[in-house]
Amino acid sequence: MELDLAGRKALVTGASKGIGRAVARALAAEGCDLVLVARTAADLEEARNEIRAFRNVAVTTVPLDLSVGDAARGLARDFPDIDILVNNAGAIPGGTLDEIDEPRWRAAWDLKVFGYINLCRAYVALMRGRRRGVVVNIIGAAGERMDSAYIAGSTGNAALMAFTRALGGTAPESGLRVVGINPGPVATDRLVTLLKKRAQDRLGDAGRWQELTKSMPFGRPAAPEEIAAMAVFLASDRSGYTSGTIITIDGGIANRGAAM
């Protein structure tokens, strides 16, 4: 399917690894110029070189901690002409209420929850002036399938779901769209870290984490590219009547009767 995205400019956060990197590759494949944001310069440069090896698009990398101060406003100042914003940065740690103390909880939310909100605040204002733009928030299925062992993440994702729906509901009045994706388990370094903790808690051995993937749909986690394909479609005019909507990609887990 031709998505007619060639020549548009996309900013992707958390773009050096996992889902963010897959989204960046998929956007580049459609001809989008890119601004890639993540904390680690070396990882960003690796992502840039990979993309440039298969597609001749402009790729700018910005090593930046989005949880700090005016990071969002600085990005909007330096790169005001963004057509597509993909919010993806942030890994909220697993743990129960007793295990995640307030400083750790706040630090995680400063990056993911408030990072998404602040970037939307900065870029929606710019997009509104042009009456054109799309925001894709990569959130997480824990926001709809609550888990007390991932309480900071479940609560943060639920907040971002409400934020996406509220903002996306009125976005069309300004010619904009705001959508979200709730990935379930995805084969990333972050998933492995979470599964190792759960294996330690449940099985007494972090090294047995792969046993926890057997009960997943199709016996595996999703590939990052499967999430990226949906993100790129939602960002395109082929999905031009979609706003305030969150797509869950979890192999049906959210609709199971019993816990995974």
- Which two structure tokens, joined as six digits, stand for 202? 């449940």
At residue 259, does pLDDT exceed 50?
Answer: no
pLDDT value at residue 1: 77
Catalytic machinery residues: 150
40 and 66 in contact (C-beta within 8 Å)? no
Q: Which residue has the higher pLDDT, 187 or 129?
A: 129
Provide the CATH number for the domain around residue 109: 3.40.50.720
Return the bridge partners of 214, or none. Answer: none
Q: Give how many domains the chain has, as a whole number.
A: 1
Whether residue 78 lies inside any domain: the answer is yes
- Which two structure tokens, joined as six digits, stand for 97? 């209420």
Whether residue 72 lies inside any domain: the answer is yes
pLDDT value at residue 235: 98
Whether residue 76 lies inside any domain: the answer is yes
At residue 258, does pLDDT exceed 70?
Answer: no
Strand ranges (E), 69-183: 84-87, 133-138, 176-183
**pLDDT of 66-111, one tens digit each?**
999 899 999 999 999 999 999 999 889 889 999 999 999 999 999 9
Whether residue 191 lies inside any domain: the answer is no
DSSP states of 175-235 as a string? TEEEEEEEE-SBSSHHHHHHHHHHHHHHHS-GGGGGGGGTTSGGGSPBPHHHHHHHHHHHH
**pLDDT of 138-186, one tens digit each?**
999 999 988 998 999 999 999 999 999 999 999 999 999 999 999 999 9
**pLDDT of 211-220, one tens digit each?**
999 989 999 9
Whether residue 104 lies inside any domain: the answer is yes
177 and 171 in contact (C-beta within 8 Å)? yes
63 and 38 in contact (C-beta within 8 Å)? yes
Whether residue 253 lies inside any domain: the answer is no
Q: Which residues contact 27 (CB under 8 A, 6 or more apart)?
A: 5, 10, 12, 34, 84, 86, 232, 235
* Separation between Cα atoms, residue 91 and residue 14, nearest integer Å: 9
Query: Which has the closest alpha carbon to 3: 71, 83, 70, 82?
Result: 83
Whether residue 238 lies inside any domain: the answer is yes
Whether residue 203 lies inside any domain: the answer is no
* Separation between Cα atoms, residue 169 and residue 161, nearest integer Å: 12
Q: Which structural domain range is residue 96 located in?
A: 9-186+222-245
Return the bridge partners of 186, or none. Answer: 222
